[in-house]
A = this chain, B = another copy of it.
Amino acid sequence: MEILEQKQNEINLSIPSKHGMEVIAAKLSENLSLFKGFEQKKIEQIKMAIIEACINAFEHGSDSKEKVVKVDFLLCEDKIEVTVTDTGKGFDVSKIKKHALSSPLKEKSKRGWGIQLIHKIMDEVEITSSSKGTIIKMSKFK
């Protein structure tokens, strides 16, 4: 019964691990969140979080032959849940660096902002990574 209900609110996308496809996923999220009546600011945050998660999945997460990234959406009453899954070699989630916000500009301009940004702009973030791949699940409340 519950699974049936979930199916009725689930949208699944799979995209090749290829430059530009992160925008396709972001635009889909835009239309889904418009459909659910989200406000503009939150829509932009959801889009950016998906872009960051997809780029990571493309860059670090898709060494496997398949090179496909899954982006799954669950439309709940009060939130939208997005899960980005890759089948790459994974990473040690506990070792994500944080930029010291008081550091000089030169330090800030180094890459490594993606996951930090996702944490700041989404309401719930859960990253699971193993040698079989990475799953990042993020939610935004309405």
Interface residues of chain A, those whose CB is within 8 Å of chain B, are 4, 7-18, 20-21, 23-24, 27-28, 31-32, 35, 65-68
Chain B residue nearest to A27 in the complex (CB): B31
Identical chains in the assembly = 2
Main secondary structure of the interface of A (DSSP, over half): mixed
Chain B residues with CB below 8 A from A18, complex form: 8
Cα–Cα, bound, A57→B142 (Å): 30
* Contacts A/B (CB < 8 Å), 17 sampled: A7-B66, A7-B68, A8-B16, A8-B17, A8-B18, A8-B67, A9-B16, A11-B15, A11-B21, A11-B24, A12-B12, A13-B13, A23-B31, A24-B28, A24-B31, A27-B27, A27-B28
Chain B residue nearest to A6 in the complex (CB): B16
CB of A63, distance to nearest CB on chain B (Å): 14
Residue pair A24, B16 in contact (C-beta under 8 Å): no
Cα–Cα, bound, A18→B8 (Å): 8
Cα–Cα, bound, A20→B75 (Å): 13
Cα–Cα, bound, A1→B18 (Å): 17
Cα–Cα, bound, A31→B22 (Å): 12
Residue pair A16, B10 in contact (C-beta under 8 Å): yes
Cα–Cα, bound, A79→B7 (Å): 31
